[in-house]
Amino acid sequence: MKNVTSIQTESLDTTVLWLMGTLLLWGLVMVYSTTIGMPDNPKFAKYTHLYFLNRHILALAVACTAGLIAYQIPMSLWERAAPLIFIAALVMLVLVLVPHIGVVVNRARRWINLGLMQFQPSEFAKFATVLYAANYMVRKIELRENFFKAVWPMATAVAAMGVLLLSEPDMGAFVVIAVIAMGILFLGGVNARMFFLIGSVLLLTFFCMVAFNETRRERFFAFLNPFDVEYALGKGYQLTHALIALGRGEIFGVGLGGSIEKMHWLPEAHTDFMLAVIGEEFGLVGVLTVLGLFFWMVKKMIYIGRQAINMDRVFAGLVAEGVGIWMGFQMLINVAVNVGAMPTKGLTLPLMSYGGSALLLNLIAIAVVLRVDKENHQMKSGRSI
């Protein structure tokens, strides 16, 4: 029994598990805190006070089950399946744009109704991009000094996904996917000059998307001055109330459940702006604790990835690092939006915000990272993968 236990411990990074579990449990508490009063709003009058909590618990159970299954799949199988998974993601992004298949919420067509839940293909697209970019770099590693041969095909694939995402529209998901792809290309050894060239092209693209789209342009101006009379009750409404919530929290917060802003003042308090409620109820200490947990988890993922690459398991290593980039960058965008450092993007806080699709893919992705770590330990101990 002792030998079995030691092997199981060696095959799994319990630090990542503990960090993930802490964020999930804290998120569960915050979903309850931010939604318990929502039925008092006529818009949500048909829901019970525990409606969102119960659905989040169900989503968490499904996500944990899917994560356990994903953990059993060898990285060699993920590598072979990566192109097919990427194609499946593109197909789903096309389907979501088809009338009567895609579900429209707040003028955005981002969901597919599966009966028990509404699935968001953009979350699956993030996971698919991690796998495909890592697989691509392994296949093209000998061409990484040649820009057109090494980068252009990958850029075309990401651009196709970007066109579909912007048609929903979902600019936030496109930004995350573009950064995931860029990060994996860079970590995979693409020439630094090429990397900065790609970054410059992306920045120019994002500038044009804002400059030539009225809605995004208004969001940008509202972000610059959210308390202006012209924006305070419009495009800057969410940001102003997020800042008020953070201001009320001060250093130690007003206490769990004590938020006023979540009581119908701050829209999407249980999804995009959960961090603002954390800041109000737990203060600066709470926000810094959340950031610390995320940074620690991302650091461990990058470390697991570097270990794999040092053992010549390039695909597995790039996947682990890609998941770290995904979690870390999306967290940073969410934090930046909540504190007014970036315009509203519609991105949730990974592992914590309400949302079944995000929770499902987040846990599957982390399970794959844990699988990478398990195979690293197996190689170190001389056991077969």
- Calculate the alpha carbon distances from 19 to 16, 24, 302, 352, 371 in Å: 5, 9, 15, 12, 16
Contact partners, residue 17, CB within 8 Å, separation at least 6: 370
HSE of 71, CA atoms in CB hemisphere, 13 A: 17
The amino acid that residue 110 corresponds to is R
Buried b (16+ CB within 10 A) or exposed e, 89-124: bbebbeebeeeeebeeeeeebbbbeeeebebbbbbb
Asked if the model's pLDDT at residue 115 lies above 80, the reply is no
Which burial class, exposed, middle or buried, applies to 369 when counting CB atoms under 10 A from its CB (0-12, 13-18, 19+)?
buried
Quick one: average pLDDT of 245-257? 93
122, 110 contact by CB (below 8 A): yes
- Nearest Cα neighbor of 354 from 106, 41, 84, 24 is 24
Q: What is the pLDDT of residues 198-238, one digit of tens each?
A: 777 777 877 777 777 777 777 777 777 777 777 767 777 88
Q: Which residue has the higher pLDDT, 254 or 166?
A: 254
Per-chain mean pLDDT for the chain: 87
If pLDDT is split at 50, 70 and 90, which confidence band does 133 have? Answer: very high
Q: How far apart are CA 142 and CA 150, in angstroms?
A: 9
- Nearest Cα neighbor of 256 from 282, 292, 234 is 282
Where residue 46 falls (left for φ over 0; alpha for ψ -120 to 50; beta otherwise) is alpha
169 preceded by a cis bond (ω within 30 of 0): yes
Quick one: average pLDDT of 323-335? 96
Asked if the model's pLDDT at residue 144 lies above 60, the reply is no
Q: How far apart are CA 169 and CA 160, in angstroms?
A: 14
Q: Which of 26-35, 100-109, 122-131 has the lowest mean pLDDT?
A: 100-109
Give SS3 for 76: helix
- Nearest Cα neighbor of 163 from 97, 105, 118 is 97
The amino acid that residue 8 corresponds to is Q
